[in-house]
Chains A and B, each alone.
Chain A
Amino acid sequence: MSIPSQDNAIQSGRLMRVAIYVLLIFFVIYYLLPLWVMVSNSLKTLDEIRGGDMLAPPKDITFEPWRQAWSQTQIGVEATGLKPYFLNSIIMVVPAVTLSTFLGALNGYVLTKWAFRGSNLVFGLMLLACFIPFQIVLIPMARILGMLGLAGTLGGLILVHTVYGLGFTTLFFRNYYAAFPTELVRAAQIDGASFFQVFWRILVPSSGPIFVVTIIWQFTNVWNDFLFGASFSGYESTPITVALNNLVNSSTGVKEYNVHFAGAILAALPTLIVYIVSGRYFVRGLMAGAVKG
C-alpha cells in the first residue's frame, strides 16, 4: 500500500463540515468562558461588577484588584494578600515533587530491572494506593504528624504529599522502564557496573520524557491539592488553594469579587503556565493515570 493512511477515512459533506466547525467553536467559547469571566472581572472596579454585565470587558481597566489579591487583602486575620501562601505552596511543592519523582524513578527501576519474588505484589499494592479516597487516612495522618512534631508545618505537608505521590510516580516509571531494553542493563552489569551506576549512567540519561511527565503530574496535583492543605496546614503553612478558599468564602466584610477573581487566577497561574508550555506531557500523564497495565 503506497497511499498514506489518513487519521480518519470518513468523508463528510461541505455543510457537515461547517456544522462541525460551528460546534467546535461553540465549545471553545464554553471552555474559555469561565477564564474570560475571571480575567475580565479581575480588571473591573467593584461598582462596575455590581452594576453591570459579567461577560462584558472592563470599561476602565484597573489593576488594583490584582495588587489587593497579591499583597493587601485580608485572609484570615491578617491583611497580607495571597503572597505568603503562594510562597508556602512553592516551598511545599518543590521538595515534595523532587522527592516523590526521584523515589518513583528508583522504584520503577527496581520493579522492572531487578524484579524479585513478590515484586508484582509490591507494585500492585503501590498502584492501588493511588486510588484511595484520602478521607480514609486523614485521622491517623493527623495523629502521626502530631507525634512527629510536624502538625501544622510545611514539613508535614511535604511528607504527606511525598508519600501519597509515590504510587503514581512509581507507576509512571515502572511502565516506562518496562519498555527499556533489559539487555543493555545486563550488558552493563557484565562490564561490572553496579546497581546505582546502571541507574545513573544508563536509565536516567534516557528517561527525560518520563521525568517531565512525572514532574508535571506531581506538580499539578500537589499545587492544586486542597484536602491535605485544609487538614494539616497551620497558621504559618497554609497553601494557596486553602487561602483562596478562605478569601472567597469568608463571611465577613464586603464580597470583593474582583479581588477573588484576581486571586483565583494567581492560584491557577503556575499550573496553567506549565500546561500551556508542556501540554503534551501533561496529557501523557493524564492518560497514564487512566489506562494502567
Chain B
Amino acid sequence: MRDRLQEWVPRIVLAPSFVAVLIVVYGFILYTGWLSMTDSRMLPNNEFIGLENYSKLFALKHWNIALTNLAIFGILYIVISSVLGLFLAILLDQQIRAEGFIRTVYLYPMAISFIVTGVAWKWFLDPGIGLENTMHQWGWESFEFNWIKDRNYAIYTIVIAAIWQSSGYVMAMFLAGLRGVDNEIIKAAQVDGASGFLIYRKIIIPLMRPVFLSAFVVLTHLAIKSYDLVVAMTGGGPGRATEMPATFMYSYTFTRNQMGVGASSAIIMLIMIFSIIIPYLYSEIRAGGDKR
C-alpha cells in the first residue's frame, strides 16, 4: 500500500504545474485559435466565421506594415547582433586584462527592462535635446539626426536600441563557444604556418556553427516578441512607422475592438515562433540524448 502511494506521489506533485501549463499555455492557444475564427469584436463571441479574420488581416495595410517592419528590424537586429557579438567575443578571447570587468559592462543591458532602454534611447536620439542638439553645442551646426521622428527611418532607431540591449548576450554565447575550442587544433594549424586571421576564418568560426544557430533562434524569437521597446521608444509611430506584429495585436484586440483580427495576428506570431523553435528544440534534445 505504502509503495503504491509512493509511486503516485511524484505524479501528484508534478500534476498542478503540468495541468496549469496545459491550461494557460495550450488551452489558451486553442481558445485564441478559436477566437481567431469567430466574429469577436469588443468581447469574445462564438459566431464562427471560418478564416475570414485571416483574409481580413492580410488585406490590412496596417498588418503589412507591421510585417515589413518586423522583417527590416529582424534581419538587421539578428545579423548585426550576431556579427557584433562574435567580434566582441573574439576580441575578449585574446587574454585581455580586466576581461571580467569588460564582460560585465557589455552584458549589463540584458539585466534592465526594455522600457528603461527605450527611455534612455528615446531621449538620447531626440533631435531637440539629444545627440543632434549635443553636436550643435559642440560646434557641428549642420549635424542632423532626426531618425526617431522620421517615418522612413524611425524603425532603424529601434534596431539601434535593440542591438545595444542584446549584443552583449550574443557576445557571452560566443565567448562560451570560443572557450570550448580545443587548443590542440589551433596549435596544429600554427605549426602548419597559418596566421591568426586565417585560423579564425578557416577553423574557429566554422566551429561556432552551433552557437550561430542558438543565437539565431534566441534573437529571432526576441525579435518576433518585441513589444516593450517599441512602446517605450515610439509607441509604434510616427504614424505607423514602427508598428510591429506585437503592437498590432495589442491595439487591435484591446483598443480597436477587433478581437477576432487581434487573435488571428497572435496565431500568426505563434506560428512564426514555433516554426523556428520546435525544430531547434527537437534537434537539441536529440543531440543531448545522444551525448548521454
Chain A residues packing against B (C-beta within 8 Å): 5-12, 17, 20-21, 23-24, 27-28, 30-35, 37-38, 41, 49-50, 52-55, 103, 106-107, 110-111, 114, 116, 122, 124-129, 131-141, 143-144, 163-164, 166-167, 170, 194-196, 220, 223-224, 226-227, 230-231, 241, 244-245, 248-249, 257, 260-261, 263-265, 267-268, 271-272, 274-276, 279, 282-283, 286-287, 289-293
Contact = CB atoms under 8 A, between A and B. Distances in A.
B109 A31 contact: yes
Given A125-B22, A224-B113, A286-B172, A107 B120 contact: no
Interface in B218-254: 218, 221, 224-225, 227-228, 231-232, 235, 245-246, 249-250, 253-254
Given A5-B183, A32-B105, A136 B262 contact: no
Looking at chain A's contact residues, is the secondary structure mostly helix, strand, loop, or mixed?
helix
Contact of B231 (A9, A27, A226): A226
Contacts of B196: 10-12
Contacts of A230: 231
A249 B232 contact: yes
Contacts of B119: 38, 244, 248, 260-261, 263-264
A143 B35 CA distance: 13
Contacts of A37: 120, 123-124
A125 B274 CA distance: 12
A128 to B, nearest CB: 7
10 contacts: A10-B196, A31-B164, A33-B124, A125-B25, A127-B281, A131-B273, A137-B32, A141-B28, A241-B115, A292-B288
Interface stretch (B50-58, B61-69, B73-81, B93-101): B93-101
B285 A124 contact: yes
A248 B122 contact: yes
B26 to A, nearest CB: 7
Contacts of A53: 133-134, 137-138
Interface of B: 6, 9-11, 13-14, 16-18, 20-22, 24-29, 31-32, 35, 44, 88, 91-96, 102, 104-124, 129-131, 133-134, 137-138, 164, 168-169, 172-173, 176, 178-179, 183, 186-187, 190, 196, 199-200, 214-215, 217-218, 221, 224-225, 227-228, 231-232, 235, 245-246, 249-250, 253-254, 259, 262-263, 265-267, 269-270, 273-274, 277-278, 281, 284-285, 287-289
Given A231-B254, A261-B123, A268-B112, A137 B18 contact: no
A177 to B, nearest CB: 13
B6 A194 contact: yes
A202 to B, nearest CB: 15
A163 B113 contact: no
A139 B44 contact: yes
Contacts of A167: 21, 25
Contact of A245 (B95, B115, B164): B115
Nearest to A29: B105
Contact of A54 (B110, B133, B179, B214): B133
A32 B109 CA distance: 9
B91 A23 contact: yes
7 tightest A-B CB contacts, nearest first: A293-B288, A114-B10, A275-B111, A224-B113, A34-B120, A293-B284, A226-B228
A10 B190 contact: yes
B269 A135 contact: yes
Contacts of B131: 54
Contacts of A136: 28-29, 32, 266-267, 269-270
B194 to A, nearest CB: 10
B116 A137 contact: no
A267 B115 CA distance: 9
Contacts of B16: 103
Contacts of A41: 123
Given A27-B88, A257-B123, A282 B111 contact: yes
Given A9-B187, A116-B10, A271-B111, 5 more contacts: A12-B196, A33-B124, A54-B131, A135-B246, A279-B107
A272 B17 contact: no
B266 A52 contact: no
A11 B16 CA distance: 56
Contact of A290 (B173, B224, B254): B173
Nearest to A221: B113
